């Protein structure tokens, strides 16, 4: 009986050595940032929809990111192209995209850190809104500019409390083709 009790105690101690360190790790917050997909460049459109290539890219984005079970979707502006880029992912996840003020990247970064710790979030923005948000999330050094014709970057930022932000840059989908007013080349 004493021997069985000793084995039980040893078993519990061994189990605690395995479980406790894993439980003590800070949660990892993962944020995927992408630029809206290719837009229709027909002259005179003030809020252009996605071009056919952009619609295909938006579907591909949903296929790629839905497996990570995002907890929230955000757009940097309430434009047709940002909403349409998120639409397939929103449909696949049942989430409604939230709009945040692109002029306040620090506010969104703080919101993501506090309210989505340990979760995955997707943010769709513009070529001129993603880099300020990456900076507000603590990414350094920042990648170079996102050119007008670049739609296929996928930025993955991981945040762990007490550690610097980690950035992994990749590309998804086909390389964008040259586009001119309303037609794709």
pLDDT tens digit sequence for 49-99: 999 999 999 999 999 999 999 999 999 999 999 999 999 999 999 999 999
The average confidence (pLDDT) of the chain is 89
Architecture of domain 26-184: 3-Layer(aba) Sandwich (3.40)
- Report yes or no: 37 and 55 within 8 Å, Cβ to Cβ: yes
Give the Cα separation of 103 and 105 in Å (integer).
6
- How big, in percent rounded to 5, are the helix, strand and coil portions of the chain? 40, 20, 40
For 49, phi and psi rounded to 5 degrees?
-80, 180
Q: How confident is the model over 121-179, as pLDDT tens digits?
A: 999 999 999 999 999 999 999 999 999 999 999 999 999 999 999 999 999 998 877 54
Which of the 8 DSSP states describes residue 100?
-
Q: Where are the domains of the chain?
A: 26-184
Per-residue pLDDT at 24 exceeds 60: yes
User: Whole-model pTM above 0.75?
Assistant: yes
- Calculate the dihedral angle through the C-alpha atoms of 90, 92, 93, 94, rounding to the nearest 10 degrees: 70
């Amino acid at each position: 009986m004493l021997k069985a009790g000793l084995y039980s105690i040893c078993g519990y101690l061994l189990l605690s050595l395995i479980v406790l360190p894993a439980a003590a790790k800070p949660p990892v917050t993962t944020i995927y940032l992408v630029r809206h997909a290719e837009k229709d460049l027909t002259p005179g459109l003030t809020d252009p929809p996605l071009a056919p290539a952009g619609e295909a890219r938006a579907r591909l984005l949903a296929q790629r990111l839905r497996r990570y079970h995002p907890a929230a979707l955000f757009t940097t502006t309430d434009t047709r192209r940002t909403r349409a880029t998120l639409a397939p992912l929103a449909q696949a996840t049942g989430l409604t995209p939230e709009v945040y003020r692109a002029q306040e990247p620090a506010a969104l970064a703080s919101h993501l850190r506090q309210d989505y710790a340990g979760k995955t979030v997707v943010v769709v923005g513009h070529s001129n809104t993603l880099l300020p948000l990456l900076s507000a999330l603590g990414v350094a050094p920042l990648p170079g500019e996102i050119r007008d014709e670049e739609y296929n970057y996928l930025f993955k930022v991981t945040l762990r409390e007490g550690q610097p932000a980690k950035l992994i840059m990749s590309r998804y989908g086909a390389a964008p083709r040259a586009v001119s007013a309303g037609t794709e080349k």
